[in-house]
Chains A and B, each alone.
Chain A
Amino acid sequence: MGLRWENRTTCLHPPRKRFPKGRAGQGHVQSRCSRWLVLAIAMVRFYMEKGTHRGLYKSIQKTLKFFQTFALLEIVHCLIGIVPTSVLVTGVQVSSRIFMVWLVTHSIKPVQNEESVVLFLVSWTVTEITRYSFYTFSLLDHLPYFIKWARYNFFIILYPVGVAGELLTIYAALPYVKKTGMFSIRLPNKYNVSFDYYYFLLITMASYIPLFPQLYFHMLRQRRKVLHGEVIVEKDD
């Protein structure tokens, strides 16, 4: 096996991810969309029947947890290229959703009837339905302008609303966490380590400050590129 003469012009940019035209891509995207539709319908029905948001979380929690945990597959899908989003962006989003569902609303019962929970549930639901409709229609090569418009404009309101809901929920959980000392390890112990869930939550809230603007401006740049055809020179590595 001799040394091959190497091509001098090494391409530094990774291959652009394309929408997969296969059945796997279509099926996955459609099922994701319908899952969130199911959730949305359940939420609307509950509100119409009960007229209040109290108990809403309790009624949809099983469905939500089931779907949200399935979202871990999303990261795999990005890795193998079925979905054209970066692994890092999706990873951050999925982790924060799993964190909210399992480590906050599921584990801290007093928080389940807060209005802020409705805020982020609605935000997530509408965002996901829009996004996956966009992918579905793109795959079918028949993308109505409205769907594209929605995908690149709704987030302007939905992102901040969702973040507000998440932050307010975590904030509401703090007193209970402090009082019960849940999920915490104290000294002394055999492995000489400690963990304080209360401070962890505070740090998590603080981390929204650098992370949220980055995601938001990333979406705004995407929006300018897609809707207004602007050529944006990305910062190079």
Chain B
Amino acid sequence: MVEILDAKTREKLCFLDKVEPQATIAEIKNLFTKTHPQWYPARQSLRLDPKGKSLKDEDVLQKLPVGTTATLYFRDLGAQISWVTVFLTEYAGPLFIYLLFYFRVPFIYGHKYDFTSSRHSVVHLACICHSFHYVKRLLETLFVHRFSHGTMPLRNIFKNCTYYWGFAAWMAYYINHPLYTPPTYGAQQVKLALAIFVICQLGNFSIHMALRDLRPAGSKTRKIPYPTKNPFTWLFLLVSCPNYTYEVGSWIGFAIMTQCLPVALFSLVGFTQMTIWAKGKHRSYLKEFRDYPPLRMPIVPFLL
């Protein structure tokens, strides 16, 4: 038997009396939704203690430390949205917005510049790189990534889109501006930057593929990632999250290519956020796997 109480008010919300001992939390959530349809499973957090950690969907009832009547506490996580939806929206925005500036759509720059084209080759190259980057991200979201969580809180989409769309517009405004100044060291600088960008894009993609291959379709298993035959994955020897390392590298390349301070600031903010994520991921790896390779740092080899 399972009783579900509200974690904050301790009010009895639901009493399920025909629950098999081998039932999973996911099945209990589905039963709970039947009596409270406004709380679909994705927004339910069930826990053994009102202030404790959420139980996982795969947890089995009889394996939990409960008596004949299990008391579970319910917390509403708020409206949820799928990760795929969030990723597609937050990446489609920059792709589209950058192009608006590239084509100098009216009301952005002065009227005499409407639909004109920049005379600097680096501006065209930058558009190709930026667009390629976001097309790659969209395709990876659709075909490569395997997400642990199905959903996230709805308010995240507003926060994330503001970040991505806002920065894309800010960068695109300057790079495609009629008064844009090309890099100080000319073609040399652009070539070097392009090399960094391409290497890091390939690296980032290789890591995404390697991570996908670690996890069978439809599962949520976690394993230690190791280098494969692909040289780009050898960065796993030195960092836990080389995908983030390569991502920062790509944006540094783009910043050097465009010599645009807003791009550098965007790279810095992204680096800060990815470092936080990498440190968290690194800590989870260390906690979960006793034999985790000691040489690895979270995001920057040997340093961070």
A residues whose Cβ falls under 8 Å from a Cβ of B: 3, 8-13, 187-194, 233, 236
Contact = CB atoms under 8 A, between A and B. Distances in A.
Nearest to B288: A3
A193 B290 contact: no
22 contacts: A9-B48, A10-B52, A10-B53, A12-B51, A13-B51, A187-B177, A187-B179, A188-B179, A188-B180, A188-B181, A190-B181, A190-B259, A191-B259, A191-B260, A192-B174, A192-B181, A192-B258, A192-B259, A192-B260, A192-B262, A193-B174, A236-B8
Say whether chain B's binding surface is mostly helix, strand, loop, or mixed: loop
Interface in B173-200: 174-175, 177, 179-181, 184
Interface residues on B, range: 20 to 34
Contacts of A12: 51
B114 interface: no
Contact of A3 (B53, B259, B290): B290
Contacts of A8: 48-49, 52-53, 65
Say whether chain A's binding surface is mostly helix, strand, loop, or mixed: loop
A188 B118 CA distance: 14
Interface of B: 8, 48-49, 51-53, 65, 75, 174-175, 177, 179-181, 184, 258-262, 287, 290
A189 B52 CA distance: 55
Contacts of B174: 187, 192-194
Nearest to A3: B290
A191 B262 CA distance: 9
Across the A-B interface, the 10 shortest Cβ-Cβ residue pairs: A193-B261, A188-B179, A192-B260, A187-B179, A191-B261, A9-B49, A192-B174, A9-B52, A188-B181, A10-B53
Contact of A9 (B51, B177, B179, B261): B51
Nearest to A8: B52
Contacts of A233: 8
A133 to B, nearest CB: 36
A188 B181 CA distance: 7
